[in-house]
Structure 1
Amino acid sequence: MTYELFLGDRSFSSWSLRGWLMCEGFGLPHRDTFVGLYSGTMARDLAPLAPARTVPVLRSPSGAVLTDSLAMAETLAEENPEAGLWPADPAARGLARSMVAEMHSGFGALRGACPMFLRHGWTGFDPAPEVIADVGRVQALWSLARDRHGADGPWLFDRYSLADVFYAPVATRIATYDLPVDAGSASYVHAALTEPNLVAWRAAGQAVAYHPLPYANLPAVRGLGTLPWEAAVARYA
């Protein structure tokens, strides 16, 4: 049973990363197709997958087309109960679902000001108060999950779950823009960014050339210093 994933980009598309980790992170067979997110062909590329307009898109072995990441997550969990995409404990599962839903619909200030950017880190970024507030809320959720259900492991719950999938791009944003977090959150950021699947995803994206590089000339980062990605991640070790 092989799923088909339609994705946008490895370096900048946070939702594509989530879609890919939903399959790769739990050993679910999948075939990947990248559409023209930055080349201007995305609408044409997705036309056979109506009603899809954005990435990621998942086509299941039954032929069902899922065009929303939350719908993808629930469908994959439903069709693959043995893979353990959600925590097994009911209380933990309820919290994980709530956290994923909040990530899916919230944190607009963080997402708007700090787009996912996996090419290098920035130095000297000055986050707005609204971004700091979003990061504070993220930290509160992470701390709650780990304190109640983390079992002293590196993940939000007792093992890697869809909650970690949905918050992985948040961890990249924190490292890219050097956003301030407490020690517990820093430990989680480092675990998320050194997880082998995310490392492989980022490495594959480095082979793609862009002219110009997306997001590199945003007013918020114009004139800032840069830091190699590995050094940006090491700031949270």
Structure 2
Amino acid sequence: MALKLVIGNKNYSSWSMRPWLALRANDIAFDEVFIPLYTGDADKRRILDFTPSGKVPALIDGDITIWDSLAIIEYVAERFPQSRIWPEDRARRAHARSISAEMHSGFAALRNECGMNLHRLVRAVALSADARADVARVEQIWIECRERYGKFGPFLFGAFGGADAMFAPVVHRFRSFAIAVAPEAQAYMDTMMALPAFQQWTTAALAETLIIDRFETA
């Protein structure tokens, strides 16, 4: 029985993008179940049919249901150890999990001021001091990882993995809001944007026509 991944709109749902990318980039087969966000009670009930959280994403593996992006990535790493979603080395694995958890729980200002919206006309906005601090911290994470692990490959810890999936929506945010970053960080963004799975998500997002007003920003 194939895995099922329940996701929301590719244009807006950064949390859906993370496990989708972890699965697709590692050639792990799954059936995609798309439920539009914020379109009425019927779609909300459809989500509740899959997960008691009432939110996307959710992964269904037989009689097992996993919700929350990071929990899904952790489950997939256990379920498919050959994918090496986390680095084999214990120290690198701890580092990858630490920055993934930081991404999961932090960067509130950046999220609020630079929401994911791939249809948005690329242009800069004035960011708050807190959002600028978030940008600086993301840059610091990316540059440090590339400096320490660049010899293993072009992603944060060498090969594409869970940490890259967790930071993938930030790449879109930085692009959409024309946020200037250091050359080392830009090189990492270019690597991510060249990833076939990243391009597949982007193409599908740009093909969507549903507009959610609450996610449309200047």
| Larger mean Cα displacement after TM superposition, 165-174 or 46-55 | 46-55
Give percent identity, aligned residues only: 34
Query: Contact 2:152–2:159 at 8 Å: present in 1 too?
Result: no
Is the counterpart of residue 209 in structure 1 residue 209 in structure 2? yes
The one-letter amino acid paired with 1:6 is V
1:89, distance to aligned residue in structure 2 (A): 1.4
Counterpart for residue 119 of structure 2: 119
Distance 1:158 1:211 in 2: 37
Deviates more, 1:63-72 or 1:115-124: 115-124
1:197 aligns with 2:197: yes
Residues 212 and 155 from structure 1, CA distance in 2 versus in 1: closer, same or farther, beyond 3 angstroms?
closer
The residue identity in structure 1 corresponding to 2:102 is E
Structure 1 residues 21 and 212, CA, compared in 2 at 3 Å: closer, same or farther?
closer
Aligned to 1:52: 53
TM normalised by structure 2 equals: 0.93
Offset of residue 146 of structure 1: 1.4
Deviates more, 1:100-109 or 1:137-146: 137-146
What CA distance in whole angstroms lies between the structure 2 residues aligned with 1:165 and 1:111? 16
Residue identity matched to 1:100: S
Q: Structure 1, unaligned stretches of length 5 or more?
A: 222-237
Equivalent pair of 2:10/2:201 in contact (CA under 8 Å): yes
User: What is the total number of aligned residue pairs between the two structures?
Assistant: 217
Q: What is the match of residue 228 of structure 1?
A: none
CA–CA distance in 1 between the matches of 2:45 and 2:155?
39
What does residue 143 of structure 1 align with? 143
Code of the aligned partner of 2:53: A
Name 2:28's counterpart in structure 1. Answer: 28
Displacement after TM superposition at 1:213 (Å): 5.7
Aligned position for 1:110: 110
Unpaired segments ≥5 residues, structure 2:
none
Structure 1 residue 191: deviation in Å?
Answer: 1.4
- Summarize deviations over 1:101-144 as a string: whole Å, max 9, x none: 00010000001110001114432422221111001111111122
Is the Cα contact below 8 Å between 1:156 and 1:163 reproduced in 2?
A: yes
Kindly provide the CA deviation profile for residues 65-84 of structure 1, in whole angstroms up to 9, marking residues without a partner as x: 11111211111101111111
User: Aligned to 1:123, what secondary structure does the other structure show?
Assistant: coil
| CA separation of 1:86 and 1:152: change in aligned 2, threshold 3 A | closer
Q: Is the 8 A contact 2:115 2:215 kept in 1?
A: yes
Partner Cα separation in structure 1 for residue 94 and residue 148 of structure 2: 12
Measure the CA separation in 1 of the matches of 2:209 and 2:51.
Answer: 29
Cα gap change, 1:130 to 1:192, in 2 (>3 Å): same
* Aligned equivalents of 1:144, 1:170: Cα separation in 2: 17
Contact 2:57 2:69 in 1 (8 A): yes
Greater share of helix: 2
Is it true that 1:7 corresponds to 2:7 in the alignment?
yes
1:214 to partner: Cα distance: 5.6
Contact between 2:12 and 2:117, CA under 8 Å: does it hold in 1?
yes
Contact 1:86–1:162 (8 Å) recurs in 2: yes
1:36/1:45 contact within 8 Å kept:
no
CA distance in 2, matches of 1:201, 1:17: 8
Task: Give distance in 2, aligned partners of 1:206 and 1:177.
Answer: 16
